[in-house]
Amino acid sequence: MADGRARPNPTDVTRVEAAPVQGFVGLTLCGRYELHGLIGSGGMAQVWDATDLILGREVAVKILHPHLSGDEAFVTRFRAEAVSAARLSHPNIVGVYDTCSDNGNEAIVMELLDATTLRTYLDEHHIVDSDTTIRIGLRLLDALEAAHRAGLVHRDVKPSNILLCVDGRVKIADFGIAKAEDQTELTQDGALVGTATYLSPEQLLGNKIDGRADLYSLGIVMYECLTGRVPFQGDTGAAVALARLHSVPLDPRRVRADVPADLAATVMRTLERDPDDRFNSAADLRAALLNTSVETQPVRSRPAVQIDPDPTDPGESFAKSERKWLYPALFILLVATALVIAGLLVRETTLDDESSGSASSATTSVPASSELAIADAIPFDPQGKGEPGENNQLKANAFDGDPKTAWRTEGYDTANFFGSKKGVGLGLILEEPALIDRVLIEGSTNGWSGSIFVIDAEDLDGVDPATSKPTATFQDVSGAVDLDLTQLDASQRTGSSVLIWITNLGSPQEDNRHRVEIAEITLTGSIATN
């Protein structure tokens, strides 16, 4: 899904002439940010790949176009809102690190990610399945809720501001920047065209807005993911705006019959013209998405291997889609009735056999799932230098039964280990080989990501997570992650050890260092039989 370096993000609009690229390569802004290459250009700014020479980290630098950097009132708003956005620290929000003014160049310094935009993905694939659409929506709602609590409305939620990271995280960019741009974009020729598609009616009318405007824009994004088209269309920006103010969008199921009915209803509610008729908050919309019939696991991560049903033909009729559930339901009812009758007959026969003294039948029991004993833990740092492992003296804290103690990684400058490592982890050695049913990890709340590997060995020698297939993966963990492995084949979850492999350390801690703490790991399953 990724297409190289991150884009935190040039806007949709590409009609304003960009500043010349020549002379920027190798330029150091404010004596600190060395520019390497142009990532992209939009109506508001250019985005450059750069290095922070003081902290030694890769960053993205967004440089305003000259027609905006020369507008003193705009620059004042731009800086103020960038400062507000920088106060937001959330795993689903692209971080704003700094503002910079140098020789007429106005810029903000942002987090650089290995990601692509949702806009790019939609342009290439057109459709996002319902389950993934919900997952994207949930992650964005986490970000919006945090921003709204801080009194900040995004104002420009659209696919080009949504980043899909290669490690599975979803992030939104340009918080606060849209407000600075607000007084300019609605009056400049061509500027409205790029964003009118996703603006709320109250924004188009110039009315006072709150967080419900962001929910409306997110509803349009989800509608486009599900159907491959936006709900309001027109030949010009003005036509799109008029359609939004005077027409009702087509139900997503009229466009694609395989969109779940309750998901379609949720999206339609976000697109109500009157803000009072929409969901009242990001939390309310999240609750509605969690209650949809599409199976999602926003906290409890999914096993890496999924058994999915055959996809529904998108060309089938609405009525045919509605009937799909009826035939299996009738079949299940008939089977259930037959099983009840069969059970009664078996019970009657068994009682007769017992009363007549005939031989009883043998039964085969399934091993009961219970907590598995952990013999030891091994901090795993295959690309580290010096003594193997990380914080080895704390390893027992991860399985001592006390959630107040924890094993933790070392601190890093960036969430992705600053490119020096693929990851670090903690291996758990079982007292006996076992069939693993469930892995429960209680730890950091900073949105970290990783994988688990069930290994048929009593140590981690020779294990290479970079080239091995994980048993399960998880993203954006906040608190506990509960991995249910029971749907996997026994051969995939039987072993003598379990490796928790951390691939992203999430948001920084109070000391501005990135690390993950694991307070307790619980493994449940049954002792393996030969």
CATH number at 41 reads 3.30.200.20
Residue carrying the six token digits 């889609």: 321
Whether residues 387 and 515 share a domain: the answer is yes
Rg (CA), the chain: 27
pLDDT, position 349: 38
pLDDT tens-digit profile, the chain (530 residues): 333 344 444 333 222 333 444 568 888 999 999 999 988 877 778 889 999 999 999 999 998 888 888 888 888 877 877 887 788 888 899 989 998 888 888 899 999 988 899 999 999 999 999 989 999 999 999 999 999 998 889 988 999 999 999 878 899 988 755 554 444 433 343 333 335 789 999 988 888 999 999 999 999 999 999 999 999 887 777 777 788 888 889 999 999 988 999 999 999 999 999 999 999 999 999 999 988 865 433 333 333 323 233 333 333 333 333 333 333 443 443 444 444 434 433 343 333 443 334 333 333 344 567 889 999 999 999 888 878 889 999 999 999 888 889 999 998 888 876 566 888 999 999 999 999 999 999 988 888 888 899 998 877 877 888 778 889 888 888 888 888 888 888 888 999 999 999 988 888 887 888 899 999 999 999 998 86
In a domain, 300, yes or no: no
Rounded-to-integer distance, Cα 237 and Cα 128, Å: 25
Domain count, the chain: 3
Whether residues 187 and 280 share a domain: the answer is yes
pLDDT, position 4: 39
3-state secondary structure 224-267: HHHHCCCCCCCCCHHHHHHHHHHCCCCCHHHHCCCCCHHHHHHH
Query: How far is CA 365 from its chain centroid?
Result: 40
In a domain, 3, yes or no: no
Rounded-to-integer distance, Cα 478 and Cα 443, Å: 8
- Choosing from 81, 111, 141, the residue where a domain stops is 111
- Choosing from 48, 79, 111, the residue where a domain stops is 111
Whether residues 49 and 159 share a domain: the answer is no
In a domain, 5, yes or no: no
Whether residues 76 and 57 share a domain: the answer is yes
Whether residues 467 and 508 share a domain: the answer is yes
Whether residues 137 and 98 share a domain: the answer is no
Are the CB atoms for 117 and 221 separated by under 8 Å? no
Whether residues 378 and 518 share a domain: the answer is yes
Q: For the residues of 391-405, what is the DSSP string, one character each?
A: SGGGGGGGGSS-TT-
Rounded-to-integer distance, Cα 380 and Cα 366, Å: 34
What's the CATH code of the domain at 186? Answer: 1.10.510.10
Domain hosting residue 105, numbered range: 28-111
In a domain, 377, yes or no: yes
Instruction: State pTM to two decimals.
Output: 0.54
156 a catalytic residue: yes
Q: What are 399's two structure tokens?
A: 């399985």
The active-site residue out of 12, 49, 52, 156 is 156
pLDDT, position 367: 57
- Choosing from 290, 306, 325, the residue where a domain stops is 290
CB count within 10 Å of CB 289 equals: 22
Whether residues 87 and 166 share a domain: the answer is no
Q: What are 487's two structure tokens?
A: 């749907």
Whether residues 511 and 453 share a domain: the answer is yes
Whether residues 62 and 131 share a domain: the answer is no
Residue 228 falls in which region: left (phi positive, over 0), alpha (psi -120 to 50) or beta: left
Rounded-to-integer distance, Cα 50 and Cα 29, Å: 10
Identify the CA nearest to 427 among candidates 474, 402, 392, 401.
392
Looking at residue 508, what DSSP letter applies?
-
